[in-house]
Structure 1
Amino acid sequence: MPLPDLHTLLPFLRWLPGTSRKTLGNDLLVGLTGAVLALPQSLAYALIAGLPAEYGLYAAIVPVIVACLWGSSWHLICGPTAAISIVLFTSVSPLAKAGSEQFIALVLLLTFLAGLFQWLLGLLRFGALVNFVSQSVVLGFTLGAALVIAIGQIPNLLRVEIASQATALASLLQIGRHLPEAHWPSLALAAFTLLLCVAIRHLWPKAPALLVGLVAGSALVWLLPERLVGGIALVSAFEGGLPPFTPLQFDLNSLLQLLPAAVACGMLGLVISLSIARALAVKSHQFLDANQEVRAQGLSNMLGPWFAGSLSAGSFTRSALNLQSGARTPLAGVFSALLVALFAVFGAALLAHVPLPVMAAGILLICWGLVDLAAIRALRRVSRAEFAVMLLTLLATLLLELQTAIYAGVLASLFFYLKRTSQPRVRLWQDGDDEVLRIEGSIFFGACHYIQQLLQRSRGQRLVIDARHINFIDYAGVEMLHQEARRLQALQRSLVLRQARPQVVEELLKLESAERCPVQFED
């Protein structure tokens, strides 16, 4: 086996020598813009995942740098995301208390396992497997995740203590029991922040609404008298610094517990990242190597947890901003991560002044951004089956654990796909003494029963299958056609394949030689 060349091992060598002072300056400015957007988002996503706020910053440093340098996309920016964060929380919270050392260790171990799964898929060139997670599953899961995240932030809005629950429905029932304990100043502060962010987005769409809302809400608590804002919880302070080296704890019991969730998280992360990367590649007219991108995602999630970075995936908002701001190379993402690292070192003390209700309001704004009503309406118009898959996935996210909801959505998609392919389109007409069936689809084990029923209902002296649109036939299909041809021979009739493709004829002749094959062929 030939050894991989240097460009395969270090793919950034393909574009790095072509950078200039002008492109570096441009990418530095774009990176600054991306860092301004990444800071509040990363903090919010850490809280969604049940992690201390600083872990959001850590996840936006090492994993982002690795994914940018080893990836194929020029503009894809990775990091913590809302959907991934909520899956991390629901996967690990039943095993350990959110925010505890054990919880953090399990999240980092899950991240490594998901990254290893992703990297192996890319290494084996199985990146196409992510296509089994259909767009309807992603839409349903994203909408469900937005609702789950919003429900999860209600305790921070009301300043009530809620024990972690396995499903969103159970959490909602628990919140209902604690409503009388609500802290109304916290709720008022969250409402002020949310309304301000919405107003800024409406009046000044290009402004960093989330960042402005966090600053304004924090300033309000600092300026108002204690009697009005007393009791409002703040983000836990932490000592500023670069991401610490964090040895992973490879405990066999934990590995077995986390493996199913790791596969689901890894697959979800790849679907999100490749969907964004493909959309950006179309707009920038760039060639995208999907398997290289899959390997890069896996590598970033394998290395990230050793530096306290939780699971990362493509961020649509940061990636779109990267493209719109005119990034020339992936160094824009690298600069963004380095600027976040500078904030982690020198700006950590500012986080202790951010109230939790303000952060919760920002997370609700992020949740609303996850809801793609236009795509949902379009899906309903185009395909009722896919819309049903979307609804099923949505309900599963609310009633089941999130990783289980992903599997449920994928199985539903496969069910409708197999149901559709098991009944290929067939046209039937009479041509003299011949009865002609044009089959438009593959003859495989799932479609054999349907096609065999059609053949057995035929009444022509010669039954002719117009096979020009049959691309594939498996062993079950070959056996079925041989069986039907012999049945017709016993009735002094014949089965003829017309204009069959060479690969179809070859498969049919593997069972019996051309002289003994009961199926006849004609051009």
Structure 2
Amino acid sequence: MLRPAPNAASPNSQSNLVSPMKSPLLLALLPFLRWFPMTRVTLQADLIAGITVALVLVPQSMAYAQLAGLPVVYGLYASFVPVIIASLWGSSNQLHTGPVAMLSLMSAAAVLPLAAFGSKEFLQLSIMLALMVGVLRLLLGLLRLGIIANFLSSPVIIGFTNAAALIIGLSQLSKVLNVPFPRTDSFVVDLWTVIEQLPSSHLPTVLFALATVAIIVGTKKIAPKLPGVLLAVVLATLVSWLIGFERNQVVSVDAIQDPAARQLALDYASNARAIDALGRNTASIAQDIRELAKAKDNDRFGELALMEADLRVLNRDMEHRKLSNNERQVDLHRMRFEHAVTSDGQDIFFRRGQTPPGITADSHTWRISKVQDDNITFMGGGAVVGTIPAGLPQFHLPSFKLDFFWALLPSALVMALIGFMEATSISKAIAAQTKERVDTSKELIGQGLANIVGSFFSSFTVSGSFSRSAVAAKTGAKTGLFAIFSAIAVMLVLLYLTPLLYHLPQAVLAVIVMMAVFGLINIRALIRAWRIERQEAIAGLVTFAATLAMAPQLANGILLGGGLAIILWMLRTMKPRTTILGRDADGTLAGAAENNLPPLGKNFIAVRFDGSLNFVNASHFEDMLLEARMQNPQAKAVLVIGSGINAIDVSGEERLRDVIDTYRDNGIEIYFSSLKAQVYEALERGRLFDMLGRDHFFRTKERALIFMESTYDSDTLTA
């Protein structure tokens, strides 16, 4: 609603308008009420920001849909309902939710091992994954468990982001070159296959890609207010239409006049049918194995073992056939053909340079782009987006296949956390400028609802977008209404403008993805981490290497890196820094060994322990004190400066008693100084003072040192 002019309504009417919206309960249930009442200035700012963001959203969403392994229209679906839901129930006024590069690639990587690329089941599992991610995020938000994301350290996130950005960007290289991109279990191997095909790249496609880069970069430098991405899309689509960039012919395999090429295509088709049959068989056997395992029938244990052995054999056969067909696909694409038409109007194709005399071939060079059953698709130009179904996404229940739930769960959890951290970091970065307060739990709820509701409208996994949110903030978005305006723009595209996108070159979308994700690579952050804490930097580097090595299974890389970071943290916690102290020339206390200083006293030792005393490091604490005693056998007392001990647990207190007993048996007294209140109170509750008098505890280290020197080193000067 619009706020009336100051003289247009009475104070009472204004009060009645605002007061219900200030109810904490109502704001918690309907957080978008904070947008109201609105002014015309706010509404105008949101409208402009929404239209500007939509100009970036439409091409980005189509590109990210392809990255997720889905038709481009599903990117537009994911940019409609989820955008509205996230804006209504999110916490940030400038955060824009929708398809993002990283989660799109992770979605494809998670689903690809379970379903054939481009199949109906692949689509269903992608939408099911969005539902799972949404439920996980919603639960994390409702339980206020966003703190879980803190288990992934900054270097781990940076290492993962750098690797994922490289993988995402380089995965688009095949579209820039217009060559096949075989998909196996190793991204590095697949990428090398693409690089080997550089001589077979399609020059006009490469020129479209280079022109897109020039337009986007040039616009940013010359006219930064213009939407360079949209300008590149419009110009490339127009040029593609004018020159007839797409030029396809679908013929039967018999149209190939070269016997070797025809046989290779037939072998590919035959092997593809065998792969499909093996896929159905393995899925059926896997289902039988799950049902038999649930039955827990010991009498059928041998049958279960045989079925598992059969499944392994079939899977190996299927993988071998897939690799063979990948090689055939590349070999078929390398071949060049000439197109001719017979006297009776039949299309035929000869290997380039082998067209018989008397037959006139056209001037175009043709390549085999697709083999399906007995039909061959020849490409005489470049790849374009093609037909995009018009109309809005329909409401339908997402398919939930319990058989695939556990297989998708690890990826769903990682995607939920990664997407949450991405959205939160974006929100906080913008909030630092707008002074807006961001509630991470509410943001989790908004992101969760967006994915859940979106899955009922054919959406794959979505999250907060840094680039679009930055555009929104830069163009002056005031409330989340700007995102709804951008969704309305997508709705208009779906209803009326999809035919105009038919001739958009695929290479243009590939470049949009590459330029977006390569900007996420941050090498300096890892260098800085190396300078600050090398163990954390190693965890980041391991995450980077593991993510690259394990791609396309990106979730495995970050899980490995996150696990390593936690292990290294535990090792540091188990062995906190402990130092025997000496006095520097300027009178300050410092580590004796590190600074080549003599101990503080002749007959006593001063030790500083920097860490909480708990079950993890209690043994290290005891070992440290015993080692200090061995290094200084003449010492009659030990002073523990405990300013760095933040807490003590039962194990720590018990180990402390053991140390006191051991020292006293050897005629050595132990003293403490500078203990924090919570530690002192814990020792008091444990009645340690019944064992060790209160005169062994000093409030400050200065008083403790005066006492130690006067008592045990009476021949030295008092500090």
TM-score (normalizing by structure 2): 0.68
Paired residues of 1:439 and 1:467 also in contact (CA < 8 A): yes
Which one of the candidate residues 574, 593, 617 is aligned to 1:447? 617
Q: Deviations over 1:453-510 (max 9, x none)?
A: 2210233322222223311223332232222112112112233332322322344456
Paired residues of 2:166 and 2:518 also in contact (CA < 8 A): no
Task: Name the structure 2 match of 1:75.
Answer: 94
Matched, 1:485 2:628: no
Task: Name the structure 1 match of 2:51.
Answer: 32
| Alpha-carbon distance in 2 for matches of 1:360, 1:458 | 63
Matched, 1:397 2:547: yes
Shift of 1:174: 3.4
Cα 1:384/1:443, change in 2 over 3 Å = same
Cα 1:518/1:44, change in 2 over 3 Å = farther
Shift of 1:170: 2.6
| Alpha-carbon distance in 2 for matches of 1:127, 1:105 | 28
Cα 1:284/1:159, change in 2 over 3 Å = same
Q: Which moved more, 1:200-209 or 1:298-307?
A: 200-209
Cα 1:25/1:85, change in 2 over 3 Å = same
Paired residues of 1:151 and 1:168 also in contact (CA < 8 A): no
In structure 1, runs of 5+ residues without a counterpart are none
Equivalent position amino acid for 2:572 in 1: R
Task: Name the structure 2 match of 1:315.
Answer: 465
| Alpha-carbon distance in 2 for matches of 1:463, 1:288 | 49
Which one of the candidate residues 273, 278, 286 is aligned to 2:428? 278
Task: Name the structure 2 match of 1:162.
Answer: 181
Alignment of 1:45-64 (within 5 A): 45-64=64-83
| Alpha-carbon distance in 1 for matches of 2:690, 2:395 | 71
Which one of the candidate residues 136, 140, 143 is aligned to 2:159? 140
Shift of 1:445: 3.4
Q: Deviations over 1:203-238 (max 9, x none)?
A: 333332222222222222222266679331111312
Task: Name the structure 2 match of 1:499.
Answer: 674
Shift of 1:518: 9.0
Shift of 1:276: 1.0
Task: Name the structure 2 match of 1:422.
Answer: 574
| Alpha-carbon distance in 1 for matches of 2:215, 2:30 | 45
Shift of 1:81: 0.8
Task: Name the structure 1 match of 2:519.
Answer: 369
Paired residues of 2:90 and 2:442 also in contact (CA < 8 A): yes
Question: Identity over aligned residues, as a percent?
Answer: 34
Task: Name the structure 1 match of 2:597.
Answer: none
Give SS of 2:430's match.
Answer: helix
Which one of the candidate residues 502, 507, 510 is aligned to 1:360? 510
Task: Name the structure 1 match of 2:607.
Answer: 437
| Alpha-carbon distance in 1 for matches of 2:141, 2:421 | 13
Equivalent position amino acid for 1:421 in 2: T
Task: Name the structure 1 match of 2:278.
Answer: none
Shift of 1:242: 1.6
Equivalent position amino acid for 1:470 in 2: I
Give SS of 2:519's match.
Answer: helix
Equivalent position amino acid for 2:169 in 1: A
Alignment of 1:78-93 (within 5 A): 78-93=97-112
Shift of 1:377: 4.6
| Alpha-carbon distance in 2 for matches of 1:95, 1:178 | 28
Q: Deviations over 1:157-189 (max 9, x none)?
A: 233333322332132133246556533332333
Paired residues of 1:468 and 1:499 also in contact (CA < 8 A): yes
Give SS of 1:458's match.
Answer: helix
Alignment of 1:54-133 (within 5 A): 54-133=73-152
Shift of 1:358: 2.1
RMSD, aligned CA: 2.5
Paired residues of 2:576 and 2:611 also in contact (CA < 8 A): yes
In structure 2, runs of 5+ residues without a counterpart are 1-23, 246-362, 365-378, 582-599, 630-634, 700-719
Task: Name the structure 1 match of 2:13.
Answer: none
| Alpha-carbon distance in 1 for matches of 2:563, 2:425 | 20
| Alpha-carbon distance in 1 for matches of 2:687, 2:129 | 52
Alignment of 1:205-354 (within 5 A): 205-224=224-243, 230-354=380-504
| Alpha-carbon distance in 1 for matches of 2:142, 2:94 | 22
Task: Name the structure 2 match of 1:458.
Answer: 628
Cα 1:222/1:335, change in 2 over 3 Å = same
Task: Name the structure 1 match of 2:706.
Answer: none
Task: Name the structure 1 match of 2:561.
Answer: 409
Shift of 1:344: 1.7
Paired residues of 1:133 and 1:271 also in contact (CA < 8 A): no
Give SS of 2:224's match.
Answer: coil
| Alpha-carbon distance in 2 for matches of 1:405, 1:505 | 44
Give the structure with higher Rg (CA). 2
Which one of the candidate residues 204, 207, 211 is aligned to 1:185? 204
Matched, 1:12 2:164: no
Q: Deviations over 1:289-313 (max 9, x none)?
A: 1211122221212211111121111
| Alpha-carbon distance in 2 for matches of 1:225, 1:293 | 46
Q: Which moved more, 1:266-275 or 1:74-83?
A: 74-83
Paired residues of 1:441 and 1:470 also in contact (CA < 8 A): yes
| Alpha-carbon distance in 1 for matches of 2:443, 2:602 | 57
Shift of 1:258: 0.6
| Alpha-carbon distance in 1 for matches of 2:213, 2:628 | 67
| Alpha-carbon distance in 2 for matches of 1:388, 1:203 | 41
| Alpha-carbon distance in 2 for matches of 1:388, 1:132 | 16
| Alpha-carbon distance in 2 for matches of 1:171, 1:346 | 38
Shift of 1:56: 0.9
